C-alpha cells in the first residue's frame, strides 16, 4: 500500500499506521479513507494529497 | 462590564477589549475585539462556556460575581486557544468543584498548553449531551475551524449554537447583537479571511451538519451574537463557495519607481477591461485587508523589484501569507523589474504551492518600463480578461 504526502504541510500518511486519532485504523489504504478525512497536521483535504514518489 | 442576557438564565459574561490592536503578534485588530464567555444556569447545574483572554480575567470574575453564582459545575472549552481557554486555570481555582467538559483532543491540548491536571476533565464526544436540569447541552465535534480540536456546544431548549471562533469577528462593540450588519459584515469577513479561509472544506461540512439543528441564535467567541443566523451563514456560504469574482489583486513594492510605473499602468489596463482591481502597496498595507481581498479574487498579480537576486522581502512575506491562507484563487502572474539579473519569478512561483493556480506568463523587465513593456502589460491584461471570461465571471452589462 502506497504512502501519500500532504502537499500543503508535508505530512506523510502511512497506511500501516493509519490515523487512529481521526478514526482511521492501521492498515487502511489511502483510497479507503473517508472523503471527509483531513490532514491531521494542517487540516488540508484529501484532494491535497499526492502519492509518495 | 455588565451581564447581558441572551435567553432566560443564559448570559454573556465575557469581556470587551477596546484597545487591543494586534493578535498573535500578526493580525491587526483595527476594531479591537471581545472574548465571549457564556454562563448557563440550569435548574440543577451551572455551566460556563469558554473563558476569556487571561489579560481580561478580572472582568470575567466580576461578571460571575454579579450573576451571582455560588458554584460552576462545568467549564466547557469549545477551543483550546488561550484567548478562550487561558483563564480556565483561574476558574478552577475559584470554583474547585468545576469539571472541564470537552473532547479528548481539546483535553490533551489543555494539558499541554495550560498544565490542567487530567483528573479535572470529563471527556465528551460528538452528539454527547450534558444535562443542567431544565437545559441540555449537546456537543458537536467540528474539527479544523480552526484547530484540530474545535467543537460547538448547542443549547437545545433555547436553540443557541455556541460556535466558538466560527462565525466570529474581531469587533469591540457594546452591542450584544449583530444589528449593525454593514459593520459586522466587514469585521466578520476580515476574521474569516485571516483565521478560517484555509479550512474551507471543513467549514462546508460543518455548515451541512448544522442544517440538522434548529438554530435561533449563534453565539460566537469573538464579536457580536447573531440573532439572525441566516445573515452570517449566508455570508459564509458565499465566502467558502468555489465561485471567484472578476477581481485582480496586486500586492507590490517599488524601490525606485520602475515597479510602481508597471503597477500603475497595469491597474489602468485592467480597469479599461472592466476588471475590478485592487493594488496593495505592501509598505502601507494592513495585512488583514489583503487577506480580505483574497476571499473573492480570481487572480493575483504579484509585483516586485529585485533585491539581491530575489523578490523584495515584503513581497516574500505577502506571498508566504497568501499561500498559507489557501484562498480560492485560480490564476497568478508576476510583474516587476531588475537591474542586471533576477530569479524573482522562480522564487515567487515556488512559494505558491498550496494555491492551485495557473501561472500566466510574467512580465519582468530590465530597468524603467518603456513602450514595449507597456505593450507586454496590455497583453497580460488581455490574457487575464480571457481567463476570467473562460470562468464565466465577467458580469453582464
- Say whether pLDDT at B19 is over 70: yes
Within a domain: B396: no
CB-based burial label for B34 (10 Å; 0-12, 13-18, 19+): buried
Within a domain: B237: no
Which of B227, B261, B292 is where one domain is finished?
B227
Domains identified in chain B, total number: 2
Domain ranges, residue B367: 248-387
Question: Under an 8 A CB cutoff, do B144 and A43 touch?
Answer: yes
Within a domain: B234: no
From the list A7, A36, A45, the residue facing B353 with the nearest CB is A7
- Say whether pLDDT at B396 is over 80: no
CA torsion angle B338 B343 B349 B353 (round to 10): -140
Average confidence score pLDDT of chain B: 97
Q: Are residues B176 and B290 both part of a single domain?
A: no
Q: Are residues B184 and B47 both part of a single domain?
A: yes
Q: Are residues B261 and B377 both part of a single domain?
A: yes
Which of B227, B261, B278 is where one domain is finished?
B227
pLDDT confidence of residue A4:
97
pLDDT confidence of residue A53:
83
Please indicate if any CB of chain B lies within 8 Å of the CB of A5.
no
Q: Are residues B197 and B86 both part of a single domain?
A: yes
Sort out which chain A residues have CB atoms less than 8 A from B202's CB and list them: 38, 43
Please indicate if any CB of chain B lies within 8 Å of the CB of A50.
no
Please identify which residue in the block is written with the cell numbers 483572554. B53
Within a domain: B316: yes
Sort out which chain B residues have CB atoms less than 8 A from A42's CB and list them: 198
Contact B389, B361 (CB under 8 A): no
**What are the pLDDT digits (tens) for B180-218?**
999 999 999 999 999 999 999 999 999 999 999 999 999
Q: How large is the average pLDDT for residues B117-125?
A: 97
DSSP summary character for residue A39:
-
Q: Are residues B138 and B276 both part of a single domain?
A: no
Within a domain: B26: yes
Of B38, B342, B65, nearest to B176 (Cα)? B38
* The model scores a pTM over 0.90: yes
**What are the pLDDT digits (tens) for A13-41?**
999 999 998 899 999 999 999 998 999 99
Q: Which residues, 6+ apart, have CB-to-CB distance to B388 below 8 Å? A: B246, B275, B298, B299, B394
- Say whether pLDDT at B397 is over 60: no
Q: Are residues B271 and B131 both part of a single domain?
A: no
Q: Are residues B203 and B266 both part of a single domain?
A: no
- Say whether pLDDT at B57 is over 60: yes
Within a domain: B55: yes
**What are the pLDDT digits (tens) for B304-358?**
999 999 999 999 999 999 999 999 999 999 999 999 999 999 999 999 999 989 9
Within a domain: B263: yes
d(CA A21, CA A30): 15
Q: B2: pLDDT confidence band, cut at 50, 70 and 90? A: confident
Please indicate if any CB of chain A lies within 8 Å of the CB of B209.
no
Q: Are residues B205 and B347 both part of a single domain?
A: no
Question: Under an 8 A CB cutoff, do B105 and A21 touch?
Answer: yes
- Say whether pLDDT at B33 is over 70: yes
Q: Are residues B185 and B77 both part of a single domain?
A: yes
Q: Which three cell numbers stand for residue B138?
A: 449537546
- Say whether pLDDT at B1 is over 90: no
Query: For residue B319, what is the domain's CATH number?
Result: 3.40.50.360
d(CA B376, CA B86): 54
Amino acid at each position: 500500500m502506497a504512502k501519500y504526502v500532504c502537499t500543503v504541510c508535508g505530512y506523510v500518511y502511512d497506511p500501516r499506521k493509519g490515523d487512529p486519532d481521526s478514526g482511521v485504523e492501521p492498515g487502511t489504504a489511502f483510497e479507503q479513507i473517508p472523503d471527509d478525512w483531513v490532514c491531521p497536521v494542517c487540516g488540508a483535504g484529501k484532494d491535497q494529497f499526492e502519492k509518495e514518489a | 462590564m455588565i451581564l447581558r442576557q441572551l435567553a432566560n438564565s443564559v448570559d454573556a459574561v465575557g469581556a470587551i477589549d477596546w484597545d487591543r490592536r494586534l493578535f498573535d503578534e500578526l493580525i491587526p485588530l483595527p476594531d479591537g475585539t471581545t472574548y465571549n464567555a457564556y454562563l448557563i444556569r440550569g435548574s440543577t447545574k451551572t455551566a460556563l462556556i469558554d473563558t476569556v483572554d487571561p489579560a481580561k480575567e478580572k472582568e470575567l470574575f466580576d461578571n460571575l460575581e454579579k450573576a451571582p453564582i455560588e458554584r460552576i459545575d462545568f467549564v466547557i472549552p469549545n477551543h483550546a486557544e488561550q484567548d478562550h481557554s487561558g483563564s480556565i486555570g483561574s476558574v478552577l481555582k475559584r470554583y474547585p468543584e468545576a469539571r472541564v467538559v470537552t473532547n479528548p483532543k481539546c483535553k490533551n491540548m489543555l494539558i499541554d498548553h495550560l498544565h490542567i491536571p487530567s483528573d479535572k476533565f470529563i471527556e465528551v464526544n460528538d452528539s454527547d449531551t450534558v444535562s443542567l436540569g431544565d437545559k441540555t447541552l449537546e456537543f458537536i465535534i467540528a474539527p479544523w475551524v480552526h484547530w484540530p480540536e474545535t467543537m460547538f456546544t448547542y443549547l437545545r431548549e433555547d436553540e443557541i449554537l455556541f460556535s466558538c471562533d466560527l462565525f466570529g469577528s474581531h469587533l469591540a462593540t457594546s452591542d450584544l447583537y449583530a444589528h449593525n450588519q454593514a459593520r459586522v459584515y466587514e469585521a466578520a469577513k476580515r476574521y474569516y479571511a485571516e483565521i478560517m479561509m484555509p479550512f474551507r472544506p471543513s467549514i462546508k461540512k460543518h455548515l451541512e451538519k448544522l442544517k440538522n439543528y434548529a438554530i435561533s441564535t449563534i453565539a460566537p467567541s469573538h464579536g457580536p451574537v447573531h440573532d439572525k443566523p441566516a445573515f452570517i451563514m449566508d455570508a459564509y456560504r458565499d465566502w467558502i463557495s468555489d465561485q471567484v469574482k472578476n477581481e485582480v489583486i496586486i500586492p507590490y513594492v517599488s524601490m525606485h519607481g520602475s515597479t510602481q510605473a508597471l503597477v500603475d499602468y497595469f491597474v489602468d489596463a485592467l480597469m479599461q477591461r472592466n476588471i475590478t482591481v485592487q493594488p496593495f502597496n505592501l509598505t502601507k498595507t494592513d495585512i488583514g485587508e489583503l487577506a480580505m481581498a483574497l476571499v473573492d479574487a480570481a487572480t493575483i498579480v504579484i509585483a516586485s523589484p529585485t533585491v539581491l537576486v530575489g523578490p523584495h522581502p515584503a513581497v516574500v512575506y505577502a506571498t508566504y501569507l497568501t499561500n498559507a491562507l489557501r484562498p480560492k484563487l485560480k490564476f497568478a502572474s508576476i510583474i516587476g523589474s531588475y537591474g542586471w539579473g533576477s530569479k524573482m519569478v522562480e522564487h515567487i512561483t515556488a512559494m505558491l504551492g498550496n494555491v492551485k493556480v495557473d501561472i500566466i506568463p510574467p512580465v519582468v523587465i530590465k530597468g524603467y518600463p518603456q513602450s514595449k513593456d507597456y505593450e507586454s502589460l496590455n497583453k497580460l491584461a488581455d490574457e487575464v480578461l480571457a481567463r476570467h471570461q473562460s470562468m464565466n465571471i465577467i458580469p453582464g452589462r
